[in-house]
Structure 1
Amino acid sequence: MDSPCLQHPMSLTHPGSSAFRGDFSSQGHEGALNLHPPKRLLALGRGGTTYTGGHSVCGRSLTSCPGQSKPLSLSIRESDDLKARHLTDHPVLNAENKMERWSGRVALVTGASAGIGAATAEELVKKGLKVVGLARRVEKIEELAESLKSAPGKLYALKCDVTKESEVQAAFEWIKTKLGGVDILINNAGTASNSKLISGPVEKWRKIFDLNVLGLSLCTKEALKSMKERGVDDGHIVHINSIVGHTIPHSDLVDHMYCASKHAVTALTEGLRRELVKQNSKIRVTSVSPGMVATEFMAASGRPVDPEQVYGSHPHLVAKDVADAILYSLGVPQHVQIHELTIKPVGETF
Structure 2
Amino acid sequence: MSGTVALVTGASSGIGEAAALSLASRGAAVALAARRADRLATLAERIRADGGTALVVEADVTEQSAAVAAVHQTVSELGRLDTLVNNAGVMLLGPVVDAPVEEWQRMVSVNVMGLMYCAHAALPHLLAAAADGPRRVADMVNVSSVAGRVARNGSGVYNATKHAVGAFSEALRQEVTGRYVRVSLVEPGAVATELAGHNRPEILEGLNQRFADMQRLEAEDIADTITYIITRPRHVAVNELLVRPTQQQA
Amino acid at match of 2:64: E
Q: SS of 2:237's equivalent?
A: coil
Aligned twin of 2:24: 125
For the pair shown, which has the larger CA radius of gyration, 1 or 2? 1
- 1:22-33 matches, within 5 Å, as none
2:108 is the counterpart of 1:205: no
- 1:5-24 matches, within 5 Å, as none
Once the two structures are superposed, residues 108-134 of structure 1 have per-residue CA deviations (whole angstroms, 9 ceiling, x without a partner) of: 000000000001011111111110111
Q: SS of 1:294's equivalent?
A: coil
Amino acid at match of 2:217: L
Q: Structure 2 CA distance, aligned partners of 1:158 and 1:203?
A: 27
* 8 Å contact kept, 1:107–1:131: yes
Aligned twin of 1:289: 187
Aligned twin of 1:302: 200
Q: TM-score, normalised by structure 1?
A: 0.66
**Greater alpha carbon shift after TM alignment, 118-127 vs 198-207:** 198-207
* 8 Å contact kept, 2:183–2:239: yes
Residue 308 of structure 1, CA deviation: 5.9
Structure with the largest fraction of helix:
2
* 8 Å contact kept, 2:190–2:216: yes
Aligned twin of 1:18: none
* 8 Å contact kept, 1:109–1:132: yes
Q: Structure 2 CA distance, aligned partners of 1:323 and 1:302?
A: 28
Q: Structure 2 CA distance, aligned partners of 1:195 and 1:206?
A: 14
Aligned twin of 1:246: 149
Residue 235 of structure 1, CA deviation: 0.7
Residue 177 of structure 1, CA deviation: 1.5
* 8 Å contact kept, 1:213–1:265: yes
The answer for unaligned runs of 5 or more in structure 1 is 1-101
* 8 Å contact kept, 1:193–1:303: no
Aligned twin of 1:318: 218
CA RMSD of aligned residues (A): 1.8
Q: Structure 1 CA distance, aligned partners of 2:191 and 2:54?
A: 24
Query: Could you say if the C-alpha distance between residues 293 and 338 of structure 1 is closer, same or farther in structure 2, counting changes exceeding 3 Å?
Result: same
Aligned twin of 1:51: none
Q: Structure 2 CA distance, aligned partners of 1:118 and 1:159?
A: 14
2:65 is the counterpart of 1:166: yes
Amino acid at match of 2:151: I
Higher RCO (CA-CA < 8 Å; seq separation 6+): 2
Aligned twin of 1:257: 157
Q: SS of 2:170's equivalent?
A: helix
Q: SS of 1:199's equivalent?
A: coil
Aligned length: 244
* 8 Å contact kept, 1:191–1:301: no
Q: Percent identity?
A: 36
Amino acid at match of 2:142: H
Residue 142 of structure 1, CA deviation: 0.8
Aligned twin of 2:244: 344
Q: TM-score, normalised by structure 2?
A: 0.91
Residue 154 of structure 1, CA deviation: 1.6
Q: Structure 1 CA distance, aligned partners of 2:120 and 2:27?
A: 25
Q: Structure 1 CA distance, aligned partners of 2:215 and 2:168?
A: 29
**Greater alpha carbon shift after TM alignment, 280-289 vs 149-158:** 149-158
Q: Structure 1 CA distance, aligned partners of 2:200 and 2:143?
A: 21
Structure with the largest fraction of strand:
1
